[in-house]
Structures are given as C-alpha cells and as structure tokens.
Amino acid sequence: MNISMYHASLPVFIRVLNSLIGILEKAAAHAEARKIDPTVLINSRLYPDMFPLVRQIQIAADGAKGGAARLAGVEVPVYEDNETTFDQLIARIRKTVAYLEAFKPEQFEASEERPVSWQTRTSTKTMQGMPYLLNHVLPNLYFHTTTAYDILRHNGVELGKQDFLGKL
C-alpha cells in the first residue's frame, strides 16, 4: 500500500497543531493557577539566542500552512505575527487547523515530484515535493513544537509525553 502526500502531511500537521493547542491551554492554566504573568511564559526561551515561545508557535503554524499550500500548489496565506496572549496563540493555531482541514486529497496528487520553492531569510530554496515534506516541513514542524513544549516544561508547566503526542 502506498501512502499519499495528502495523508503523509495534512493529518500529521493537524494532529501536531491540535496537540500544541492542548499544551498552550495547560500553560495558560498553569500561569493562572500560580499567578504568573502569562507574558513571562510567552516570552520565555531556552537560551538567549533562541526564539521565544511566541515565535516557536508562529513558526510551527506557518510551517504547516506553508507546507500544505506549497504542496497543493496554492498561494500561502500570510498571518500577522502580533500574538501576545495564550488566547491569541491558540486562535492562530485553530485558524491554521481550519485552513488545513479545507484541503482535499486531489490537491496533492503528483506533488511528490512537483518542484516546491520558498524564501528563507537569506535565499530561495527549491526541491521536489517528497523531499520537501520529509526533509524540511515535518522536521521543522516537530522542531518548533518540541521547542515550545520544552520551554513550557522548563518553566514548570506539567506536561508529559502524551501531551506532545496528542490523540492518536
């Protein structure tokens, strides 16, 4: 049995982002219960040269929507990076999940071989769809989600492996 590009991407993106919503909800509850200013957690980072939690969330959402759009051959929607609260970060992820849920499997047909291009901070990158998904989109999605999890766990939010994995 072969797995389609649609099934290798969209359900994974949606599950990871839904897990991230649960993680952020736990973080918001943690801050409220311990009377911690939520912006302390939102702006926390693991190391001074790393992005803070807010940016990790934005990049995770952008990676999922951008990956799906590029594989489907449609324009990538642009979101403003102006979130300052847990509610706003959760809303961004929910908006991204809704966007992802609108895709149809047909939009991903033949995307394994189709060239995909995107702009980084320093250059334009191009690769075929399958390597783009497996070697760029998925690793980046997991990296930024894991980093968000780690920032919150480091700051005392009670999270476990099941929070990260979400519902299987």
pLDDT digits (tens, 9 = 90+) for 15-30: 999 999 999 999 999 9
Confidence at 166, pLDDT banded by 50, 70, 90: confident
d(CA 97, CA 16): 10
pLDDT in tens, 49-71: 999 999 999 999 999 999 999 99
Mean pLDDT of 29-51: 97
Residues 6 or more apart in contact with residue 1 via CB below 8 angstroms: none
Q: Are strands 124-128 and 115-119 parallel, antiparallel or unpaired?
A: antiparallel
Residues 6 or more apart in contact with residue 123 via CB below 8 angstroms: none
- CATH ID of 5-165, from 3.40.630.10, 1.10.3720.10, 3.40.50.720, 1.20.120.450: 1.20.120.450
Q: What is the pLDDT of residue 121?
A: 87
The tokens describing 68, both together, are 């799906």
Residues 6 or more apart in contact with residue 58 via CB below 8 angstroms: 79, 81, 83, 92
Mean pLDDT of 109-131: 94
**Rounded percentage of the chain residues whose pLDDT exceeds 90:** 95
d(CA 47, CA 7): 35
CB contact at 8 A, 54 and 43: yes
Confidence at 142, pLDDT banded by 50, 70, 90: very high
> Rounded to the nearest 5°, which phi and psi values hold at 117?
-125, 145
Q: What is the pLDDT of residue 120?
A: 87
